[in-house]
Amino acid sequence: MDIKTLKTFQMIVNYGSFMRAAEELNYAQSTVTMQIQKLESDMGIQLIERGKKIKLTEAGRMFYEQSLHIVKDMEQLQENMDNLQRGTTGNIRIGVTEPTASYRLPEILKRFLTHFPNIRVSVEFGNTPTLSERILKGDIDLALCSTPDVGTELYFEPLFKENFVVLMPENHPLAEKENIGPEDLQGHRLLITSATCPYRRKLEMVMKEYGITTLDTMEIGSMTALKFYVESGLGTALVPQILVSPIPAGVAVRELSGSLIDMTFGLLCKATDYPLRLASSRLYSVLKEELGEWSSVH
């Protein structure tokens, strides 16, 4: 018994005729007859009483009523599978680092889900090492983050550079300078993120290159919160430029000399999953296009 046979049976009942059912289905009447004979044989019971006018047996009436739900469910299942294959439906689990998680992704997802309302997206926040591990474990499908550690089983596609600036209270001694270099940060409290944050690791590496091994630091667990701690006068901070709009009251923004801790940002997935398929490929394309355009504009 298959869905074609069920549809044939329903067509016979609806039209009250083997011949009319065959015409509508573009089958030979003999094909329709054989389908019903096989169906009755498989079920082990007569479903249709033949005559000048067909009539359903009690079993036929029950079979017809229940087959309606079966065909409807099977057609819906087939449609769902087709949509899944086309990438217009499905579930996507994406991991994102700050500041993209709060400042770039919401508007991109809003436009994406307007075009693909049957795709469900869940967003997980984390740093690059954590998101890399989550991808390898299969907990998320892709991530937006900085460059992962080398030697991993991951595929990374760079999209843009995250530019950094220095924030400080307006009355801070460094506010008199137009550009800030690494050596200028010595002797002033520097607000930094957690030890696992790639931004902090890059900063520490650059400082060592300049021979700076000791800094007065205060650890703040959130990248996006740094500007508020600067606003409270607790110290200076190196933050992504996108975070400083609008500039908090009483806070000065200064350019960094050179490319102090510019970070490469891009799309990450498991190497064996690239190129991505189904709904994930749809989102991947949109993120690549929109974040690439954001980079060229900014």
- Report the pLDDT averaged over residues 18-22: 91
pLDDT at 294: 54
- Report the pLDDT averaged over residues 134-142: 95
- DSSP codes, 85-128: HHTSSEEEEEEE-TTHHHHTHHHHHHHHHHH-TTEEEEEEE--H
225-259: per-residue pLDDT in tens?
Answer: 899 999 999 999 999 989 888 888 899 999 888 66
Q: How far apart are CA 141 and CA 155, in angstroms?
A: 12
Tokens of 40: 């009755």
Amino acid at 108: I
53-100: per-residue pLDDT in tens?
Answer: 889 999 999 999 999 999 899 888 887 788 777 778 889 999 999 999
pLDDT at 233: 93
pLDDT over threshold 70, residue 295: no
Question: Cis (ω within 30 of 0) for the bond into 106?
Answer: no
SS3 143: strand
172-183: per-residue pLDDT in tens?
Answer: 999 999 889 888
Question: Does an H or E element contain 49, and which?
Answer: strand 48-49
pLDDT at 232: 93
pLDDT at 260: 66
Q: How far, CA to CA in Å, does 279 sit from each of 93, 123, 131?
A: 11, 15, 20
pLDDT at 222: 86
Tokens of 186: 């010595």
Q: How far is CA 79 from the centre of its chain?
A: 23
245 closest CA partner among 108, 121, 103: 103
pLDDT band at 207; cut points 50, 70, 90: confident
Tokens of 7: 């549809």
Q: How far apart are CA 45 and CA 31, in angstroms?
A: 20
Tokens of 95: 């991991």
Rounded to the nearest integer, the mean pLDDT of the chain is 89
How many other β-carbons are positioned within 10 Å of the β-carbon of residue 179?
Answer: 11
SS3 53: coil
